[in-house]
Structure 1
């Protein structure tokens, strides 16, 4: 918990993915690692070590959305962690020594700090979280690196060096360059979480093309993108994948869904114009995702000022679905199913 700055609002999904990547969790059959992590988190809350900030409600039940930690407890955590070389927090208040940093297992950068990573070859650092706006070189001098979170740094060129860090389990970054992620990313056979933000500015959309090889990565659990295009998998599948969000124009063919059978969260968007034929996206096949709990579907009209996109297809869901979010769409063609949906979902969210 000490990797986060003071008063930092921590998203639970973010925290759990880090715990899984760090290897802090022991599997308990038949529970997933994410389920075990939630139990750990609830235990820490019950002990008043972690404070609840926000809940996400679904019907009568609530799910923890964000949390934080008291400043005094955080100070104690950071002090003990640095004594045991578990974690070193870098900010303006702390004198930086390459030798001290080199022997740490985790680095968390909170201030505008510059240091020469060239002096840190053969470092024992396993996790690097860059939570400030300072500059940092992504370098292969961290051969044991498992976690690389540099979401505050904008890359105009994809940092291809990271494919040499074969121990990586977690990557989060901002990439505004060419529209394609290199297929060599699939060399990271231990990768569990890949998060790529675009952040091109308001109204700008530049599709990020993802290699088909990405679904061949055996340990991959969470794929989070902004405007990412993922081709239909044909010769690859991933039974571990739980999260797939930010994909555009995804074709939900039976074959494609059969290769990601354990998906729990799906966030998709579709571009619409007068030539669009919804049938090519096969959205009625979503009923085949038996583990799906959250579906967010966003529709993008050809022009920003256009009226809402008409829903003219047959949506079908498995009874396990808990949350449905439809945006920028008209329910005129969907009214016959509304009563059934209201019976099925404690909360049905439709937004413009």
Structure 2
């Protein structure tokens, strides 16, 4: 959804509506009309991946082949027609028949004029080079470096290198000042160029499943950043450099590791517009007792929150007891006005929870409720038992 927004493919209908909501509505419309098929869903029930139905795929493949044949015919006839062949959306499929294959994977002998001709007006670049060796990272890094030095990609809004093994990002990346979406998920990248602070229009930074444990301090300068995904497995941390007004537009913060040094008080707790939050907290009870209270108070003030995931780990990265007193214990109350945007609620392995009350009108946006292994919870709150649009899944204690 974020990449659609970055390319201005959706327009919001209401003043208070986020562009991501409109993108989700458009996607559901395409699904409902059979234009695309869902292949995988997230844990919260949202769509994770889609594909074209086979009939549509074959149709567009035939159209693409016709276009390729026509283009090749024009190339052999005259160079005068090349001016009409500028690329707006570049996708690397490792297809040797594609004109961009030589530019990306064929070495450094491509002239600056040739690169400018094809890539001066590119708005998005996505690579599907999933080879697990050094070549993908080197080749895509060299391609980016040569394009930028040739004044190409200066209009680029989306750069998605998901699954490209350790892309060698050039320091000149900061010259792509129109970039809104930087996708580096599953790249195993180890560090970012410091010039990232120059990407003042960046809205999404996806570092999930990378080897990046600490971001450069310049991350605080990205005033338009809305979605930030950390690498949870590497205990990604933020340095205490948060200044007043920094990252106040943030809607998504996932994969962040919180210990006693994390700037939560007078720092992260100023981020009150979050719609999705995922935290992993340290299991040091003495050092973390006051910090956990600050985290809990912060979470309870997030009125726009739709998705919350909090877990605790020990020194060996294994699950540990989570002690957030305002959010766990033997009773839970969902009061009117609390978490008004929450859509999905999952209660797992809450051994002490014996009473759950929901005030009338509370949790109005809740659509998906899942309860697993809560052996002391006798029944659903009366307020939720007869809601028509609520999907309920209950799994008994083991």
Query: TM-score band (shorter)?
Result: 0.7 to 0.9
Q: Shift in Å at residue 148 of structure 1?
A: 0.8
CA pair 156-76 structure 1, distance change in 2 beyond 3 A: closer
Structure 2 match to 1:67: 50
The answer as to 2:103 corresponding to 1:116 is yes
> Greater strand percent: which structure?
1
Q: Deviations over 1:254-303 (max 9, x none)?
A: 65332x22110011111223643232241222111110110111211113
Structure 2 match to 1:287: 300
Structure 2 match to 1:209: 214
Q: Shift in Å at residue 319 of structure 1?
A: 2.5
The answer as to 2:320 corresponding to 1:303 is no
Structure 2 match to 1:8: none
Structure 2 match to 1:51: 37
C-alpha distance in 2 between matches for 1:126 and 1:78: 22
Unaligned runs of 5+ in 2: 72-81, 105-109, 131-135, 329-333, 375-398
Q: What is the SS of the residue equivalent to 2:296?
A: helix
Q: Shift in Å at residue 19 of structure 1?
A: 0.9
Greater relative contact order (Cα 8 A, min sep 6): structure 1 or 2? 1
Structure 2 match to 1:130: 127
Q: Tell me which moved more, 286-295 or 47-56.
A: 47-56
Unaligned runs of 5+ in 1: 1-15, 89-98, 201-206
Q: What is the SS of the residue equivalent to 2:249?
A: coil
TM-score by length of 2: 0.65
Q: Map of 1:119-198 to 2, 5 A cutoff?
A: 119=111, 120-121=115-116, 123=119, 124-133=121-130, 134=136, 135-136=139-140, 137=142, 138-139=144-145, 140=148, 141-155=152-166, 158-173=169-184, 174-178=187-191, 181-198=192-209
Please say which structure displays the higher CA radius of gyration: 2
Q: Is the 8 A contact 2:311 2:322 kept in 1?
A: no
C-alpha distance in 2 between matches for 1:242 and 1:74: 34
TM-score by length of 1: 0.73
Q: Is the 8 A contact 2:174 2:199 kept in 1?
A: yes
Structure 2 match to 1:27: 12
Q: Map of 1:328-339 to 2, 5 A cutoff?
A: 331=350, 335=352, 339=356
CA pair 116-50 structure 1, distance change in 2 beyond 3 A: closer
Equivalent pairs counted in the alignment come to: 307
